[in-house]
A and B are shown apart, each in its own frame.
Chain A
């Protein structure tokens, strides 16, 4: 049974601009599903609709909540949406500075996620935060240091730890390695792959970078102008692209 089942998703922004249309896909347990396309193709709109930060104007999304059973995401009220965002659907943004409070300690940033999920024991919160920072390979000596003094890669690790704090059933990754240099990018990708294997968390990965998707996702959707133009196994898409746009995308890769 899929963790997430999206059917005919459409987002029309005010002014009649189409964000995305006719999007259907499933994310299976433990799977990383890739979503590629150039900027403006609607990838982030799809992600936003599932993260419940963008209003879906059409279609449905069925989410298997570990605590509450099957939920129709787009029919939830504000409070239920927040509950889900804080516990079961994690989001990792391209820019950690938009998510983290740079002037609170790394530990406090993770604690925030736990406190929002009603953790009220300081000692247990500290232990859990340390465990998460260890898992994303952060030096624990930096736990009580502020992320403003961290490198971009470290900030992204803290954000990842925060997103994983409440063991979400679904993790949404929006260009998680964008803006990082290649060696840092490689280590972070390894980490995401390990986490997926260890925790079995289902992930939806948005990227414009075919290499990132090739490394992480077994299945991929290719988007152009708000629609899915090709879908299938990542290897197949990269080796034998069918749609002219996918062909262009694959062949514009730097060798």
Chain B
């Protein structure tokens, strides 16, 4: 039995690309698309895989990350799937990849204009948190009626003195559409703002794609007197490379149950071990979240 290049038939890939073009034209807007069956079930990255398959050419070099790591089971399996069905080269070096498919993280190393980041998204609708009806969330998007989204943030401050939402932290794209960067930690939210690369989001089960084109302003929700704040790890450093400015995972390190911290982005951790002076490169353009101003 033989497959088309990159598994999906040409018509399906074209349909996905058409949806992606619309998504790029309307930054942050969720575009419905033909979510096809794949040899893995919905909820395991099928949205991201379909985008990657629709974009792949023979010259592409693919990197796949899961929980920040290149060598986790899902990442390896998806990489092998793309290798077998498209025959493309794969890498774990961020700078070498042309297409990076990811779940949970945006690489610590700043992406270039010739790179595309494809995110696998479980929950594309940020308003689902406050509204269960799809008809109603569509109306809210159409009218930019996002006031209720702030109620969740208000309650968070009432109960905890700050906004604690750890991931799926909603942001307004290009001063228009509210979008969920799910499932990245809010640590990665500032990377979406005025980036050089193209971000594509795919939700296979929910049959939605959306996009953040390069150089698009992205503002994480916040109050004027409670600005957006990314997680910090004060006083903690990666056990392996010594970084203090990356997103750290808490791990049990040995049989004695000793706990420690390690970079979640394994590829960047490796680079830092080889050269401790390597910069993340996201810092300069990362603007803090700003509240959506008064109605446009």
- Complex partner residue of B147 from A78, A116, A121, A144, CB under 8 angstroms: A116
A120 located at the interface, meaning its Cβ lies under 8 Å from any Cβ of chain B in the complex: yes
A115 with B224: in contact, given A108-B158, A120-B292 (CB under 8 Å)? no
**How far does the alpha carbon of A78 sit from the alpha carbon of B225 in the complex, in Å?**
32
Chain B residues positioned under 8 Å from A105 (CB to CB): 155, 158
**How far does the alpha carbon of A104 sit from the alpha carbon of B155 in the complex, in Å?**
7
Whether the Cβ atoms of B147 and A108 lie closer than 8 Å is no
Whether the Cβ atoms of B295 and A118 lie closer than 8 Å is yes
A125 located at the interface, meaning its Cβ lies under 8 Å from any Cβ of chain B in the complex: yes
A112 located at the interface, meaning its Cβ lies under 8 Å from any Cβ of chain B in the complex: yes
Chain A residues positioned under 8 Å from B295 (CB to CB): 118
Whether the Cβ atoms of B291 and A108 lie closer than 8 Å is no
Indicate the member of B150, B157, B224 with the most A CB atoms within 10 Å. Answer: B150
Q: Which residues in window 144-166 of B have CB below 8 A to A?
A: 145, 147-148, 150-151, 154-155, 157-158
Count of chain B residues near A, Cβ 8 A: 20
A122 with B223: in contact, given A78-B139, A112-B147 (CB under 8 Å)? yes
- Complex partner residue of A116 from B145, B155, B293, CB under 8 angstroms: B145
Chain B residues positioned under 8 Å from A79 (CB to CB): 143
Q: Which residues in window 71-87 of A have CB below 8 A to B?
A: 78-79, 82, 86
B40 located at the interface, meaning its Cβ lies under 8 Å from any Cβ of chain A in the complex: no
- Complex partner residue of A118 from B143, B223, B226, B294, CB under 8 angstroms: B294
Chain B residues positioned under 8 Å from A115 (CB to CB): 147-148, 150-151, 154
Whether the Cβ atoms of B158 and A117 lie closer than 8 Å is no
Interface string of A191-224 (1 = CB under 8 A from B): 0000000000000000000000000000000000
**How far does the alpha carbon of A86 sit from the alpha carbon of B224 in the complex, in Å?**
21
A108 with B151: in contact, given A82-B143, A122-B157, A122-B225 (CB under 8 Å)? yes
- Complex partner residue of A120 from B143, B157, B158, B224, CB under 8 angstroms: B224
Whether the Cβ atoms of A108 and B154 lie closer than 8 Å is yes
Whether the Cβ atoms of B291 and A120 lie closer than 8 Å is yes
Whether the Cβ atoms of A125 and B139 lie closer than 8 Å is no
Chain B residues positioned under 8 Å from A169 (CB to CB): none
A123 located at the interface, meaning its Cβ lies under 8 Å from any Cβ of chain B in the complex: yes
Q: Which residues in window 102-135 of A have CB below 8 A to B?
A: 104-105, 107-108, 111-112, 115-118, 120-123, 125
CB distance from B120 to the nearest CB of A (A): 31
A121 with B225: in contact, given A79-B143, A116-B145 (CB under 8 Å)? yes
A-B pairs with beta carbons under 8 A, tally: 52
Whether the Cβ atoms of A111 and B154 lie closer than 8 Å is yes
**How far does the alpha carbon of A117 sit from the alpha carbon of B150 in the complex, in Å?**
11
Interface string of B281-296 (1 = CB under 8 A from A): 0000000000111110
A121 with B224: in contact, given A104-B155, A144-B158 (CB under 8 Å)? yes
**How far does the alpha carbon of A117 sit from the alpha carbon of B294 in the complex, in Å?**
9
Q: Which residues in window 49-85 of B have CB below 8 A to A?
A: none
CB distance from B217 to the nearest CB of A (A): 17
**How far does the alpha carbon of A104 sit from the alpha carbon of B87 in the complex, in Å?**
53
Whether the Cβ atoms of B223 and A120 lie closer than 8 Å is yes
Chain B residues positioned under 8 Å from A116 (CB to CB): 145, 147-148
A79's nearest neighbour on chain B, judged by CB, is B143
Indicate the member of A86, A108, A112, A120 with the most B CB atoms within 10 Å. Answer: A120
B295's nearest neighbour on chain A, judged by CB, is A118
**How far does the alpha carbon of A240 sit from the alpha carbon of B148 in the complex, in Å?**
49
Chain B residues positioned under 8 Å from A112 (CB to CB): 147-148, 151
Name 29 A/B residue pairs within 8 A (Cβ), A-sorted. A78-B139, A78-B143, A82-B143, A86-B147, A104-B155, A105-B155, A105-B158, A107-B154, A108-B151, A111-B150, A111-B154, A112-B151, A115-B148, A115-B151, A115-B154, A116-B145, A116-B148, A118-B147, A118-B294, A118-B295, A120-B150, A120-B291, A120-B292, A120-B293, A122-B154, A122-B223, A122-B224, A122-B225, A123-B225
Interface residues of A (CB under 8 A from B): 78-79, 82, 86, 104-105, 107-108, 111-112, 115-118, 120-123, 125, 144
